[in-house]
Structure 1
Amino acid sequence: MDIDRTIRQMARDARQAAGVMGCCATDRKNQALTNMADLLAQQTETIIKENRKDLKRAGEAGLSSAMVDRLTVSGQTIAAMAGGLREVAAYPDPVGTMGETQVRPNGLRVSKMRIPLGVIGIIYESRPNVTIDAAGLCLKSGNAVILRGGSEALHSNRALAGIIGQALKSVGLPAQAAQVVPMEDRAAINALLLQDDFVDLIIPRGGEGLIRFVAENSRIPVLKHYKGVCHVFVDQSADLQMAENICYNAKVQRPGVCNAMETLLVHQQVAPDFLPAMARRYDTAGVQLRGCPETCAILPGIPPATDADWPAEYLDLILAVRVVANMDDAMAHIARYGSNHTEAIVTSDYRRAHRFVRDVDASVVLVNASTRFNDGGQLGLGAEMGISTSKLHAFGPMGLNELTTQKFVVLGDGQVRA
């Protein structure tokens, strides 16, 4: 197979399909998504069977527990995929919606209309659910999509690709509107990144190495999310029981994802009371703590944190802990080591909460809630494309609106420019 020729043909076909999708009626798009959800439910056993082939290869290749967790597909996973599609189908269609109209002194009526981006390339590792989530969001927002999943999920993604194509054809839409790259060779990624004639945006999802590779080699604009180094700051005024619950959930509920907490910051006034109780609770979950000197003095026996721990994205049951003198120190730590992903404060002081929200630079800032809520579904977007930590053109979870742009629409009655 000629990889360059195959990818270029896929990109050309996607561009043609994008023209169809951009003009497609909402009801037709929704029916395609609903049919896709039905097919997922009907073919659950087949998908799981194909996924087991991927899991077997992952075990033989020695993939990390975090990668295996992301790769695993269960009946619950498939039900969640189908539910996400139905939720996206139920959401208002952003395409064609008009913004506020401004009337100029010469009578021109100026507004903006939401339109699709065009063709989106998604490059991702593990997570077969991304295949369905990305296809659903791109199709509902009137885009065409080229999906290049990791080789470790090849069998799962091929099964899902068949379902996507079947659902599109069932309503008379081109299967080329959502294509899965069929080859494992990494050269396919390089070829896709050169298709700037046909592809409008590249969204990489995966480890920092993959994202940096894509950003450095793409001729196409890239929406980046390098890593999630997320913090929770326990303020001096925090309800300590609330703080315990939040910090436990942020680290333990699912440690292998990008919105899990990686560093805990604790105000020095509450650290002697808070940290021993928190450490006991973490110990029951198998969390390994690494602390600053002040933390180690309160929790003797835990290993000291090194310079490499503060910017680390562990994606595991490992947590760096630092005692800070005040909120300014906490925010300075976040500014130095954070990744603009998710930051949280636990406090009962309104003024400090307001300042934290205003001054901390992250795609989602939370007050008295777990970092695990930085998720499209949890924030009301339905399924999400990913979480952008760059600010052009989206920041945070990417739902339907974030997969569109706007064009100016100007209505006149004969005006000419002097």
Structure 2
Amino acid sequence: MDATAIVTELALKARAASRSLSTATGEQRSKALLGIADEIDKSSDFILAANAQDMARAQSEKMHPQTQDRLLLTAERIKGISSGVRQVAELENPLGKIIREKDLPNGLHLEQRTVPFGVVGMVYEARPNVSVDAAVILLASGNAALLRGSSSAAASNAALLKVMRDALAKTSISPEVIQLVPSDDRATVKALLHARGLVDLVIPRGSASLIRMVVDEATVPTIETGAGVCHVYVDEFADLSIALPILINSKTHRPSVCNAAETLLVHSKVAEEFMPVALKALKDAGVIIHCDETTLAIAKKNNVEATLATDENWCTEYGVLEMNVGVVGSVDEAIDHIAKFGTKHTEAIVTQSREVSDRFIAHSDCAAVMVNTSTRFTDGEQMGFGAEIGISNQKLHARGPMGLEAMTTTTWVVTGTGQIRS
């Protein structure tokens, strides 16, 4: 079969199987997720063996270290995946909630209720954990899933899908609600994006180029996730004792992810005190530094290797131990810099001034603002959503880490007693 026929068949299977979701209670869906978590834990060796195949291929093809880190599964990461599933299982049922309700003068009763989208497609790169994150969030919110990962994670994704479907086979929910779209042919991506009428929503998760391709190419409605050129701004009123650990954690905790910081901005009034310490700490952590002329002079004075940053540097999501550093004269100058080079993902400010932080929040047009804490907390699990399906940079419907509520839409239920419109 060609790519269109393959996607059509998978979408129809998912649509039919989704009826078993629509008749399942919130408790039944939660129990199914707990079964998936248990099956993942029991199958750790099986999953690791599959991931080892992907990693061997990645290493032989000299894949970028950032991508290899995203691809890698470890026993600890697998435990984290199953833990995220259990957190989702404990969340409140997002379906059937009455958002608005009222009685009209003609006697009609109106209710706006939350319902699933239906069949949701995911297009993502490298990270096999997304296969589980996406599937369980979609299941918990009553949606069937069409998962199209990258060929680099083909073995890992296939193993994880088998584990999840094996778990569902022990429940009243059909295993067919999760479908894996083949990744050996790039044409299946385009077929998924063009499956309007068969697929209700597509969500991309990955590089800026992947996301842009999906948004530009899709005829199916999309929720746009985005790249993370995130900033840490150290204000003149910052407590510098907390600024340094916030900076190091934001950059080095896991540099390959989208909520890692890519740029440090420091107020000129604390630059002479803070910058030498920050530059040395970054260098000791193995971070390559690009900076403006003011910072470059400080770096040379303190024997820290650095290069002059270009506009391309300032707008780059590195995903590795590489960072831009600059000095600004005010919070407004920091805001202007972020508006020019940021991607509306996560911005952090370190300050003890409520007035300054309020100004920063008001003018930071982004999905999440961190005040006196690390950018790494823009994360569904860290924010109490369990796993996340992605982080939305857009302003329509969902913004920030997308959990269960973001994967629902609404329907109006109008109840009458025989009224007809005149």
TM-score tier (shorter): over 0.9
Q: Relative to structure 1, is the Cα distance of residues 331 and 62 closer, same or farther in structure 2, using a 3 angstrom cutoff? A: same
Distance 1:373 1:357 in 2: 16
Matched, 1:170 2:157: no
Give the conservation status (yes or no) of the 8 Å contact 1:22–1:115: no
Distance 1:242 1:415 in 2: 65
Matched, 1:159 2:159: yes
Give the conservation status (yes or no) of the 8 Å contact 1:110–1:410: yes
In structure 2, give the amino acid aligned to 1:276: P
Runs of at least 5 residues in structure 1 that lack an aligned partner in the other structure:
none
Matched, 1:92 2:72: no
Aligned counterpart, 1:255? 255
Give the conservation status (yes or no) of the 8 Å contact 2:226–2:345: no
Q: Which moved more, 1:322-331 or 1:96-105?
A: 96-105
Distance 2:99 2:197 in 1: 30
In structure 2, give the amino acid aligned to 1:265: L
Q: Which moved more, 1:163-172 or 1:256-265?
A: 163-172
RMSD of aligned residue pairs (Cα, Å): 1.4
Runs of at least 5 residues in structure 2 that lack an aligned partner in the other structure:
none
Aligned counterpart, 1:180? 180
Q: Shift of the alpha carbon at 1:223?
A: 1.4
Could you list the per-position Cα deviations for residues 270-324 of structure 1 after superposition, in whole angstroms to 9, with x for gaps in the alignment? 1110100111111211111111111112221421111111111011111101111
Distance 1:347 1:109 in 2: 50
Distance 2:42 2:186 in 1: 32
User: What SS is found at the alignment partner of 1:309?
Assistant: helix
In structure 2, give the amino acid aligned to 1:336: K
Matches of residues 66-81 of structure 1 in structure 2 within 5 Å?
Answer: 66-81=66-81
Question: Sequence identity, in percent?
Answer: 42
Matched, 1:306 2:328: no
Q: Shift of the alpha carbon at 1:39?
A: 1.0
Matched, 1:244 2:248: no
TM-score, reference length from structure 2: 0.96
TM-score, reference length from structure 1: 0.97
Give the conservation status (yes or no) of the 8 Å contact 1:232–1:345: yes
Could you list the per-position Cα deviations for residues 330-350 of structure 1 after superposition, in whole angstroms to 9, with x for gaps in the alignment? 101111111010011111111
Aligned counterpart, 2:119? 119
Q: Shift of the alpha carbon at 1:417?
A: 4.5
Question: Which one of 372, 384, 394 corresponds to residue 390 of structure 1?
Answer: 394
Matched, 1:316 2:325: no
Question: Which one of 369, 372, 376 corresponds to residue 368 of structure 1?
Answer: 372
In structure 2, give the amino acid aligned to 1:88: V
In structure 2, give the amino acid aligned to 1:192: L
Aligned counterpart, 1:273? 273
In structure 1, give the amino acid aligned to 2:127: R
In structure 2, give the amino acid aligned to 1:338: G
Aligned counterpart, 1:220? 220
Q: Shift of the alpha carbon at 1:215?
A: 1.6
User: What SS is found at the alignment partner of 2:324?
Assistant: strand
Question: Which one of 374, 377, 385 corresponds to residue 381 of structure 2?
Answer: 377
Distance 2:353 2:53 in 1: 52
Aligned counterpart, 2:360? 356
Give the conservation status (yes or no) of the 8 Å contact 1:158–1:182: no
In structure 1, give the amino acid aligned to 2:141: S
Distance 1:160 1:176 in 2: 14
Query: How many residue pairs are counted as aligned between the two chains?
Result: 418
Give the conservation status (yes or no) of the 8 Å contact 2:149–2:183: no
Distance 1:402 1:263 in 2: 29
